[in-house]
Amino acid sequence: MDIPGARPVPISQLSRAQDRLTFVYLEHCVVHRDANAITARDARGIVHIPAATVGALLLGPGTNVSQQAMVLLAESGSTAVWVGEHGVRYYAHGRTLARSSRLLERQAELVSNRTSRLRVARAMYAMRFPDEDTSGLTMQQLRGREGSRVRRIYRDHAKRTGVQWERRDYDTSDFDSGTPINQALSAANTSLYGVVHAVTVALGCAPGLGFVHTGHVRSFVFDIADLYKTEITIPTAFDIAAREVGDIGAETRRAIRDRMKDGRFLETCVRDIKTLLADEDEVVEYGPESFEDPDVVMLWDYNGRNVAGGVAYDEEEG
């Protein structure tokens, strides 16, 4: 019996998360589907976007999305992220591309144990500041080191670009109230969060299970995004703020997009997440099998092993 509707996109035609475009921001347009492409239509015409090659589709104000467009994004493992004007607010995201819960279970295991959680937090800080030894630092010491380093980085870029800098100060409900540099930082960070969120859910991880951040549904996204701010969002934001631009939010998003369009960032993000969540003696692989795990459902056993699902077990089998 035929199932009504378009056929799902074969998994063999999907791109791995690290091989995809970073993100596409849309606003004031109608988003629909044409075969295996997402279409964006406004008064200027229609643009076709191959759904299977998009990491995150950022849907801003004035976007109307059809049901078939969302079906295609879901089947393609592309993450739709609903955002506010200038990309300042985050509202929702789509589904994962992963077929296995392996990384999710590993993430939950690590974050639930104080010792392993601290080990991962130290590893995150070591990735950010590779010239410092973080192996014996407490969380309080790590936060202190980070604060000093980040403040110095802000001052260095302010001196480099001539942008006046006082402190990081912004209101998420009023984008325009911020100084140009704070507007640029907010727009840059929000774009980064969208891309990192896309990678996180594509890998099947939980955005809310953070190691450094906690209490927010995107704590892990903030953890991972912080690995790249000093290299990507901070210098880009200062470069934009140093120029006279009409729309700081739009210019900053385009600049972040240009920094990431070669795909290297996605590959780095995937590698870093897998490295952080890997067993200490595990050799991490980054091949095509990353997102081609079979749809296998196992049953948990109290003895610490998994048993096959879809089997009628007799009580006598124990």
Q: Could you please report the per-residue DSSP string of 107-169? A: HHHHHTSHHHHHHHHHHHHHHH-TTS--TT--HHHHHHHHHHHHHHHHHHHHHHHT-------
Q: Yes or no: is domain 11-92 CATH 3.100.10.20?
A: yes
Burial class (CB in 10 A: 0-12, 13-18, 19+), 86: buried
Confidence (pLDDT) at 169 = 81
CA 92 to chain centre: 13
Q: How far apart are CA 187 and CA 176, in angstroms?
A: 11
SS3 content of the chain, % helix, strand, coil (to 5): 45, 15, 40
Confidence (pLDDT) at 93 = 65
What string of pLDDT tens digits covers the 318 residues of the chain? 454 555 555 544 454 555 555 578 889 999 999 988 899 999 999 999 888 777 778 888 999 999 999 888 877 777 787 877 655 566 776 666 666 788 999 999 999 999 999 999 999 999 998 888 888 899 999 999 888 999 999 999 999 999 999 888 877 677 777 788 999 999 899 889 888 887 888 788 999 999 999 999 999 999 999 999 999 999 999 999 999 888 888 899 889 888 887 768 878 998 999 999 987 665 555 443 444 455 567 787 777 677 776 666 766 554
The reply, when asked if residue 171 is annotated as ligand binding, is: no
Q: How far apart are CA 76 and CA 287, in angstroms?
A: 19
Token digits for 198? 């896309």
Token digits for 20? 């995809």
Q: Which residues pair with 80 in a beta bridge?
A: 57
Confidence (pLDDT) at 19 = 55
Q: How far apart are CA 318 and CA 309, in angstroms?
A: 15
- The CA dihedral of 249, 255, 261, 267, to the nearest 10 degrees, is -80
- Apex CA 285: angle with CA 279 and CA 286, to 5°? 130
Kindly report the pTM of this predicted structure: 0.73
Confidence (pLDDT) at 106 = 94
User: What are the start and end residues of each CATH 1.20.120.920 domain in the chain?
Assistant: 102-277
The reply, when asked if residue 213 is annotated as ligand binding, is: yes
The reply, when asked if residue 146 is annotated as ligand binding, is: yes
Among positive and negative, which fits the CA dihedral 75, 76, 78, 84? negative
- Which residue pairs, CB below 8 angstroms and at least 24 apart, start in 116-121? 117/211, 120/211, 120/276, 120/277, 121/211, 121/212
User: What are the start and end residues of each CATH 3.100.10.20 domain in the chain?
Assistant: 11-92
Secondary structure letter of residue 262 according to DSSP: T
Class of 102-277 in CATH: mainly alpha
Confidence (pLDDT) at 288 = 36
Query: In Å, how far are 166, 300, 303, 309 from 313, measured between CA atoms?
Result: 67, 13, 16, 10
Amino acid making up residue 243:
R
